[in-house]
Amino acid sequence: MPSYTAPTKDMQFLLHDVLKITETDIPGYDELEPDFTSAILEEAGKISSEVLQPLNAVGDTEGCTLENGVVRTPTGFKAAFEQVKEGGWPGLDMPEQYGGQNMPYLIGTAVGEMFSAANQAFTMYQGLTHGAASAILAHGTDAQKDMYLPKMVSCEWTGTMNLTEPHCGTDLGLMRTKAEPQGDGSYKISGQKIFISSGEHDMADNIVHLVLAKIVGGPEGIKGVSLFIVPKFMVNEDGSLGARNGVTCGKIEEKMGIHGNSTCVMNYDEATGYLLGEEHKGMRAMFTMMNEARLGVGMQGLAQADAAYQNALEYAKDRLQGRDVTGAKNPDGPADPLIVHPDIRRSLMDQKSFVEGARAFILWGATMIDRAHRSQDKDADGLVSLLTPVIKGFLTDQGYDMTVQAQQVYGGHGYIEEWGMSQFTRDARIAMIYEGANGVQALDLVGRKLAQDGGKHVMAFFDLVKSYAKENAGQDEAFDRDFLEPLKAASKDLQAAGMYFMQNGMKNPNNALAGSTDFMHMFGHVCLGLMWARMAKASMDALKSGTADAAFHETKLATGRYYMARQLPATALHLTRIQTGADTVMALDAANF
């Protein structure tokens, strides 16, 4: 059975040595002293390893069951959910006013990685609630906030997002679910929603569904979509629960993975709903949830990759098979451990260098969100908005590949369910799809985010890389050679791709869109390259100042050198592909495929 150890040490290094969070001017960060963050991370790590991780396989094996409209979660989920609630984890970064602890999003993100790595299906119940609560926080009336948020911040009630219908996923303008105004401020919601994560279950007293629907008589298409709050049980004025609302779970989907989370078909049959935000502005309100959710999904890619990597590493150290060609490493044993073999090393280094780079990227992104929200910094908001599709798309594509690589280390034992490696792969697969399939992320990046605010944010990103390289050059020859030069080359590739889009996308947008996935990936590599340079610099500084933990920092440097030498050069291939434009991609008539 797999195990999971929370990366508290690595996170502390990132928060304090790399991001130096207490030195920033982000409101609330001054309290995040090393001892304080360490205490939180250690505690979160403990519940992850000891409570959530042991239920991961249980959730996969048992799944959720629907009987007479009631969904039962796997054995142990309910008790674990109580523990999570008692620890106050769901409200960690929620306002104190509603029972939260008002911590920065950064801390919620670090804890979220641990919970997701330990048990993604379980953590989704809490994650969706967080997203729904954020939408109510941003768009709700004071009465709505007072009615729903205290219960949702504590996870006494959970939340859902209802977008997809059988015939429409990405293209929500095709939506058929309708909302009829009742004259008293409420609406009757009717229609069917599918793929609703945590849609129905037995772990909360009430479920607050956020539902996209079209108000009857409103504008056609996406401009006629509004967002509604539809509680499973009606809520009385005093906060007590009233009658059952007209929303039921029609079916639980059989899925490839995340079996512990109930993915429901939800039927709305004249269910009472309340407008959240403005009429016909549902997409805007929903995007409050979506952007946060996309960062959370990117984090899942990293989290599953880390959990899978940790187990692959242990297996590679334990399993004796074959001999080191340069001389036996375990001469008294019947064979050497797998880890002596260069191709196993290559795979483990791919995984390790991705996981650590991705973690830095996510936490850096989280600081931008805090800066945007807590300091009302529009530049930070623009930059993280640009990077959101990269975080979601790149980290989940790569994260999935890493779970596949980790599974591969086990050979045949990776394919049977007994060892748990298949579950990491099957669970990680969904992250490439939900909250906008990765192709849609790439489209968002190239078709929308690049040009946003006149291209200001992408220029800011390039400036950021350039000034970083400039400021840190010339101090250490090896650092320049191993880190700054590859970073500059990769960033140049990315700029060349952006230039290609500008020059060729005008005459035919397909010249840009045909390269969108390549662009998203090369952007991700440049971000991880930047992160590795920053981490390497921090480790070099630590070593120079005579750190007590030289091994940690030497390892960090070696891992970074691997990434820069063997992963970052992928930008050149992506650029080559991008520069072929749309010609070969769009050559065929659909009928001739």
Span 554-573, contacts to a copy of itself by CB under 8 A: 554-555, 558-559, 561-562, 565-566, 569-570, 572-573
Measured from the CB atom, the residue of 303 and 380 that comes closer to a copy of itself is 303
Q: Round to whole Å and give the CA distance between 503 and 52.
A: 51
Structure tokens at 115: 């919970």
Examine residue 425 and tell whether it contacts a copy of itself (CB under 8 A): yes
Examine residue 541 and tell whether it contacts a copy of itself (CB under 8 A): no
Examine residue 548 and tell whether it contacts a copy of itself (CB under 8 A): no
Min dist CB 275 to a copy of itself, Å, is: 25
Measured from the CB atom, the residue of 531 and 564 that comes closer to a copy of itself is 564
* DSSP assigned state of 25: -
- The answer to whether 497 and 424 have CB atoms below 8 angstroms apart is no
Which residues in 150-179 contact a copy of itself (CB under 8 A)?
164, 167-171, 173-174
Paired residues of 206 in beta bridges: 157
Which residues in 480-539 contact a copy of itself (CB under 8 A)?
508-510, 513-514, 516-517
Measured from the CB atom, the residue of 48 and 164 that comes closer to a copy of itself is 164
- Binding a copy of itself (rule: CB under 8 A), the pick from 151, 201, 534, 577 is 577
Measured from the CB atom, the residue of 370 and 493 that comes closer to a copy of itself is 493
Min dist CB 417 to a copy of itself, Å, is: 4
- Can you tell me which residue has the tokens 């508290």? 8
Which residues in 217-276 contact a copy of itself (CB under 8 A)?
253-257, 263
Measured from the CB atom, the residue of 168 and 241 that comes closer to a copy of itself is 168
Min dist CB 107 to a copy of itself, Å, is: 27
| H, E, C per residue of 154-168 | CCCEEEEEECCECCE
Which residues in 1-60 contact a copy of itself (CB under 8 A)?
none
Coil, helix or strand for 433?
coil
Question: Cβ–Cβ contacts within 10 Å for residue 592, how many?
Answer: 6
- Helix residue ranges, H only, 89-232: 105-118, 120-139, 142-153
Which residues in 326-345 contact a copy of itself (CB under 8 A)?
326, 334-335, 337, 339-345
Residues 6+ apart with CB under 8 A from 498: 450, 458, 519
- Number of residues counted as binding a copy of itself (CB under 8 A): 95
Residues 6+ apart with CB under 8 A from 376: none
| Contact range with a copy of itself by CB under 8 A, out of 19-27, 200-208, 287-295, 440-448 | 440-448
Min dist CB 447 to a copy of itself, Å, is: 7
- Can you tell me which residue has the tokens 């065929």? 588
| Contact range with a copy of itself by CB under 8 A, out of 92-100, 108-116, 242-250, 348-356 | 348-356
Question: Cβ–Cβ contacts within 10 Å for residue 361, how many?
Answer: 25
Examine residue 433 and tell whether it contacts a copy of itself (CB under 8 A): yes
- The answer to whether 294 and 441 have CB atoms below 8 angstroms apart is yes
Cα end-to-end span (Å), the chain: 45
Examine residue 460 and tell whether it contacts a copy of itself (CB under 8 A): no
Compute the half-sphere exposure of residue 47: CA atoms within 13 Å on the CB side of its CA: 24
Amino acid code (one letter) for 182: Q
* Phi/psi of residue 195, nearest 5 degrees: 60, 40
Measured from the CB atom, the residue of 248 and 579 that comes closer to a copy of itself is 579
Q: Is the dihedral angle over the CA atoms 484, 485, 489, 492 positive or is it negative?
A: positive
Min dist CB 61 to a copy of itself, Å, is: 9
Residues 6+ apart with CB under 8 A from 368: 380, 381, 383, 384, 387
Measured from the CB atom, the residue of 119 and 347 that comes closer to a copy of itself is 347
Examine residue 65 and tell whether it contacts a copy of itself (CB under 8 A): no
Measured from the CB atom, the residue of 144 and 555 that comes closer to a copy of itself is 555
Examine residue 138 and tell whether it contacts a copy of itself (CB under 8 A): no
- The answer to whether 353 and 360 have CB atoms below 8 angstroms apart is no
- Binding a copy of itself (rule: CB under 8 A), the pick from 39, 216, 328, 416 is 416
Q: Is 435 a catalytic residue?
A: yes
* DSSP assigned state of 220: S
Q: Single out the catalytic residue among 82, 435, 485, 554.
A: 435
Task: Report, as residue numbers or ranges, the catalytic residues.
Answer: 435
